[in-house]
Structure 1
Amino acid sequence: MNEAFVCDIHQEAGHLQPRAAPPRGQSDALVTRALHVVPPAPVFVDDVQPLTRVGRERPAASVARIHPDLARAWQMVIRGEAAEALLSAQRIEGQVGPLTDAVAVRCEISAVRAAALLLQDDAGAALAAALSALRLGTTTPTAHVALTVCRCAYLRLGDAESFYAVERRAPDGQPGRLRAITAMLDLALDAAVEFAQMHFNAARLLADDALDVARRFGAGPATIDALPACVMAQVLYEEGRVDESEALVAARLPGIRQGGAIEGAVRAYGLLARIAANRRQPGQALLLLAEADALGIKRNWPRLRAASLAQQVEIHVAADRFDEATLCAQRLAVLAGQCGAASSSARFEIARYHVLAEARLALARTHSPTCAPAFPQAPIQISAAVDLAALRQLHCDTVLRRDRYGAVTIALLLIEALLVAGLRDDALEALVTLLKQAASAGLQQTLVDCSERVAKLIDGMVRGSIVPASDVRELLPYAGALMSRRRRSAAHAQPACDTVRDTVRDIARSVAAMGLSERERVIIGLMGRGLTNKQIAIRLCIAPETVKSHAKHLYSKLSVRNRIEAVTLASRLGLVRLSGCGHAGD
């Protein structure tokens, strides 16, 4: 980031003046809109009190000297350096001291903290910090940042009413970069909401406006426009414009790797992997998802890891690789069990991916009853029966969160599960309901990509061999067009030149290299040779407690619970070769 940007931030947010606090009722109204959020910590949410000078008076220039530090903290936020920004905010807060005009500065510190916490995918804590930053009202120079964080946090928490209630701040004619970024993100959030509700035309217009703001005002690094670009790409994908969709996202992927936010990462990797899988390139799809998993480890984004593992299950199942699918499902189950420390929004998403992965694997087993789990001795088992109640509840919860697009994937799995359970009439009824919603919204590609079981059900309706109880004549042209496009896609799909079996080992090696440190790779290798912790400590000339510490971090990164699971996973991924002797205890 160049010095001009520092100057922009300094000019935009560096001349804060103390203002009167908002009425208590207004502050309480803001706080009550938070979902599952405890009151903000007193360190930055204390009631506004008249500040008195303590000891010797400090010159007014003291606050001015803090402004460059605040500008650098904003730089860190823009670059995606969340942890560094939080440390900087803490350091600046310690420098403020008893200054008479420190209230406004503390509010800006809270705005920095809110944006950084949002980058860490902690929507609850980000919302608390943003509400703290708004205690002087919505006219402070960085209030627009706090307002945008509130909107994003409410969206992540599934509180649509509070999302729409937050005030929007339109940028001035020539806004600074920080204001331009928040204006662009506001438009991108609106686009994401419209897309989730399957209002594709509105989503396209809003995403295009957001990209235009980014272009006109040069709003920071290229990664900052990843969210609107990904929403636009998703719209293009659903319209069948797959090449355009891929090009739009692929151009942002290098920036997302370097410093993007999680929303763009989840959408970008998921969409690109989906495109590769549909082109019969499962190896390329797995490479992208493995990279996403490693990025999730590096940034501590369990939600990105869960999305990656769930999609890996889907691809392995499609390739009849049930052992690998089971392994990914087991890792996802461990991750779901560890998500208690994650924010409430992340917990919901991780649980959603877990239910979807288990359903896909169970459906695959019903299709191939002879397949068995790769590791029957593993403590986590995936049920062979599809949990219809869990799918129904997940579909209901997703609809209540106004995510109609996300509910489509769940509905397709539910229809397939109903067919497997022998409830064909229920499956037909659910399919007709889904087709009506999809036709009115213009949804195409997701239904074209549906499973073979669901496709046969749709094709039977089109051909007249399957007749639902309700009148579906008006849906037949739309359903017929979907099946025609599906047949064309299958005919034009290139052969699978990179089969999963030929590429998964190289992919696993590259992922391990990204996710594990050199010492951790050495330790897992020695574990695979049957060495105990004491023997490893002697070999590496380190203390046994140090080996235990490395092992603990290694288990967390691999989403396993003990040495046996770690060595088994590493063996499956080609990271170690088992010595043939039993594994020693920890």
Structure 2
Amino acid sequence: MNDVVAPENLSKCDRTSRSVAIPSLSTETGALRTLSPSPLPVGGPAAEALQLARTGGARPGVGFARLRLEIERAWQTVMHLDCREALVIADLIEHRANALSAVVPKTLHCEIAALRAVAFVLQDDEAAALPAAWSARGPDASARTAHVASTVCRSVYWRLGDLERFYAVERVKLDKRPCRMQAVSAQFDLALDAAVALDQMRFSAARLLAGHALEIGRRLLGTHVLTDALPACIIAQVLYEQGHADEAEALLVARMPNIRECCAVESALRAHRLLARIAASRGQHGRALVILSEAEALGERRGWPRLRAASLAHQVEIEAGNGRIEQAEACLQRLAELAGESRAASSNVRFEITRLHTIAQARIALARSPSAVDLASLRQVHRDTVWRGRLYAAVPVALLLVEALLVMGERSEAIGVLVGLLRVAPSVGLYQTLVDCSAPVAELIEDIVQQRIVPVSDTRELLPYASMLLTRRQRDAGEANGPFAARRPNVGAGLSERERLIVALMGRGLSNKQIAVELGIAPETVKSHAKHLYTKLSVKNRTEAVTLASRLGLLQIPRSLSV
């Protein structure tokens, strides 16, 4: 039997408990501590690793070339998000490397550390990822390993809100002909820079950096790559904030199959949350809840508590906003249980879940019993979010705080917080988040516009921008009153059954060649049908066709047709 571990064989292993003590650095105290990772499977690579540990590791016929092949397989496993299996393989490789210490260079030990660092960061475990990444950046590391490890360090510091250390990490120069892993790291580095710019509400810079990341990916990795999801999500967030919801949605819809299957938590979190937000802004609350339920299920399947928490908090917002208090409280209960389960998680995961839980509690209190709102906790969440450099994420918290202050009779403070946002908004491009504000906040904006209140400072320069926000809000409300199909009458009525089937299969992520195989027709015939349906839907490409068809409810496979 071939003793090279293949990723496809790992998923078939029986999973019973065994844990390996891994030293790591506490992000809160700086002290070394011991982590107990998720149970590892017994059988396959895990059983082999145990046997090697018992026998001292020596196995005849296993040399450096075999280890190199195995570590490349391990990287492939990580890229498919099979992080537990990758950590098992890393243990196995390390046992073999220790047995061959006379012939194994130190560069391989650095690469094993980098492999672990990537697996841990994809599991949202910054406390374990950071010491592994620093170990991988040793003087013996190859250029590829050093680049990957530096990217992991920057990712961890960004998540922790430690921008001083984020910028202090030395960048590794990209080779003229970089390997695939270096190219992926380079693209992700740019995406991290874009994410920081977005956090700080430098929207134009975020869009430029994310666009550059996409260009780097296309140039070095090809046109269809999984790693472009994060920069695409960042661009979509900027587009939505600028009032271009259709373009933002189209950018995400084309990538959703990959985001659901193969992308990291940051992409999944941003994409699902933004698509739900777009649906809710159009009055499609049922669709928004479906998107969020899918995100919650994906988070549970992948072991991503942050994704589950964000989904539940947004469900609370939608349910409470529509007066469905019992449903909102059920989501809040699941969020509270998740917070209890995550006490052993990394500090960033705990912070984010606690933050979302506090916000969800405030939303339900505002809907059920406004006097029960915990203003102190809400103020603290706002301060903590700003302190971590997440200024954009702090804006919805500030708007919620304004609403809570109003119902608690703290009108002067509410006006001060809102005026502060209105002063910043035009210069940074903050727009759609303010348009989406709650009715009480919109009424306060209107009071400012109509000069029915006297703020502490002069607000005359704010009036044109505030008036524009109200105008856009009224327009969006009018468009949301009727279904999208009603606003574009009969746009899908002219599609034939075959065209409806083809656009539905496009919506499932199938290429023209795959659709041709499914339907038993020639690829050129599929192209011809696609061209006709683009004309009938008045769209330019398959991304726009899928987006529009989704909003028209055309993505279901017709029952009268068998595929």
Aligned match of 2:335? 332
Q: Which runs of 5+ in 1 are unaligned?
A: 1-5, 7-30, 44-54, 368-383, 499-586
Alpha-carbon distance between aligned partners in 2 of 1:430 and 1:56, rounded to the nearest angstrom: 64
Aligned match of 1:318? 321
8 Å Cα contact 1:37/1:128 also seen in 2: no
User: Partner letter of residue 484 of structure 1?
Assistant: T
Question: Once the two structures are superposed, what CA deviation does each residue of 1:410-436 show, in whole Å capped at 9, x if it has no partner?
Answer: 100111110010011111011111111
Aligned match of 2:521? none
8 Å Cα contact 1:81/1:259 also seen in 2: no
8 Å Cα contact 2:158/2:166 also seen in 1: yes
Aligned match of 1:71? 72
Aligned match of 2:351? 348
Question: Once the two structures are superposed, what CA deviation does each residue of 1:251-295 show, in whole Å capped at 9, x if it has no partner?
Answer: 111111112100001100000000001111111101010001101
Which residue of the other structure, out of 165, 183, 186, is the alignment partner of 2:186? 183
User: Partner letter of residue 39 of structure 1?
Assistant: L
**2:132 is equivalent to residue 129 of structure 1:** yes
**2:167 is equivalent to residue 174 of structure 1:** no
The range that moved more, 169-178 or 238-247, is 169-178
8 Å Cα contact 2:116/2:129 also seen in 1: yes
Alpha-carbon distance between aligned partners in 2 of 1:334 and 1:203, rounded to the nearest angstrom: 35
8 Å Cα contact 1:148/1:185 also seen in 2: yes
Structure 1 residues 68 and 434 mapped into 2: Cα distance closer, same or farther (>3 Å)? same
Deviation at 1:171, TM superposition (A): 2.0
Aligned match of 2:428? 441
Question: Once the two structures are superposed, what CA deviation does each residue of 1:138-173 show, in whole Å capped at 9, x if it has no partner?
Answer: 654311101000000111112111111001123223
Deviation at 1:452, TM superposition (A): 0.3
Q: Which runs of 5+ in 2 are unaligned?
A: 1-5, 7-23, 37-55, 486-563
Deviation at 1:193, TM superposition (A): 0.2
Tell me the TM-score normalised to structure 2 length: 0.75
Alpha-carbon distance between aligned partners in 2 of 1:59 and 1:221, rounded to the nearest angstrom: 42
Which residue of the other structure, out of 463, 468, 473, is the alignment partner of 1:486? 473
Give the secondary-structure state (helix, strand or coil) at the position aligned to 2:183.
helix
Aligned match of 2:210? 207
Which residue of the other structure, out of 269, 279, 285, is the alignment partner of 2:272? 269
Question: Once the two structures are superposed, what CA deviation does each residue of 1:349-386 show, in whole Å capped at 9, x if it has no partner?
Answer: 1011101100111111147xxxxxxxxxxxxxxxx611
User: Partner letter of residue 457 of structure 2?
Assistant: S
Aligned match of 2:448? 461
Deviation at 1:35, TM superposition (A): 4.7
8 Å Cα contact 1:177/1:219 also seen in 2: no
| Matched ranges for 1:66-465 at <5 A | 66-98=67-99, 99-100=101-102, 101-136=104-139, 140-218=143-221, 222-366=225-369, 385-465=372-452
Give the secondary-structure state (helix, strand or coil) at the position aligned to 2:417.
helix
CA RMSD of aligned residues (A): 2.5
Alpha-carbon distance between aligned partners in 2 of 1:220 and 1:171, rounded to the nearest angstrom: 20
Structure 1 residues 316 and 34 mapped into 2: Cα distance closer, same or farther (>3 Å)? closer
User: Partner letter of residue 186 of structure 2?
Assistant: A
Deviation at 1:105, TM superposition (A): 1.2
User: Partner letter of residue 80 of structure 1?
Assistant: L
8 Å Cα contact 2:110/2:140 also seen in 1: no
Give the secondary-structure state (helix, strand or coil) at the position aligned to 1:256.
helix
Structure 1 residues 138 and 64 mapped into 2: Cα distance closer, same or farther (>3 Å)? closer
Question: Once the two structures are superposed, what CA deviation does each residue of 1:512-571 show, in whole Å capped at 9, x if it has no partner?
Answer: xxxxxxxxxxxxxxxxxxxxxxxxxxxxxxxxxxxxxxxxxxxxxxxxxxxxxxxxxxxx
8 Å Cα contact 2:57/2:96 also seen in 1: no
Alpha-carbon distance between aligned partners in 2 of 1:457 and 1:41, rounded to the nearest angstrom: 52
8 Å Cα contact 1:170/1:183 also seen in 2: no
8 Å Cα contact 2:107/2:141 also seen in 1: no
Deviation at 1:439, TM superposition (A): 2.1
User: Partner letter of residue 171 of structure 1?
Assistant: L
User: Partner letter of residue 209 of structure 2?
Assistant: L
Deviation at 1:115, TM superposition (A): 0.3
8 Å Cα contact 2:300/2:308 also seen in 1: yes
Structure 1 residues 219 and 177 mapped into 2: Cα distance closer, same or farther (>3 Å)? farther
Give the number of aligned pairs.
442
| Matched ranges for 1:491-530 at <5 A | 491-495=478-482
State the structure with bigger RCO (CA 8 A, min sep 6), 1 or 2.
1
Give the secondary-structure state (helix, strand or coil) at the position aligned to 1:450.
coil
**2:32 is equivalent to residue 39 of structure 1:** yes
8 Å Cα contact 1:230/1:267 also seen in 2: yes
Deviation at 1:466, TM superposition (A): 2.3
**2:459 is equivalent to residue 472 of structure 1:** yes
Structure 1 residues 145 and 40 mapped into 2: Cα distance closer, same or farther (>3 Å)? farther
Structure 1 residues 57 and 79 mapped into 2: Cα distance closer, same or farther (>3 Å)? closer
Deviation at 1:102, TM superposition (A): 4.3
Alpha-carbon distance between aligned partners in 1 of 2:252 and 2:29, rounded to the nearest angstrom: 33
Deviation at 1:65, TM superposition (A): 2.1
Identity %: 53
The range that moved more, 56-65 or 240-249, is 56-65
8 Å Cα contact 2:124/2:304 also seen in 1: yes
Give the secondary-structure state (helix, strand or coil) at the position aligned to 2:175.
coil
Aligned match of 1:545? none
Deviation at 1:316, TM superposition (A): 0.4
Give the secondary-structure state (helix, strand or coil) at the position aligned to 1:135.
coil
Tell me the TM-score normalised to structure 1 length: 0.72
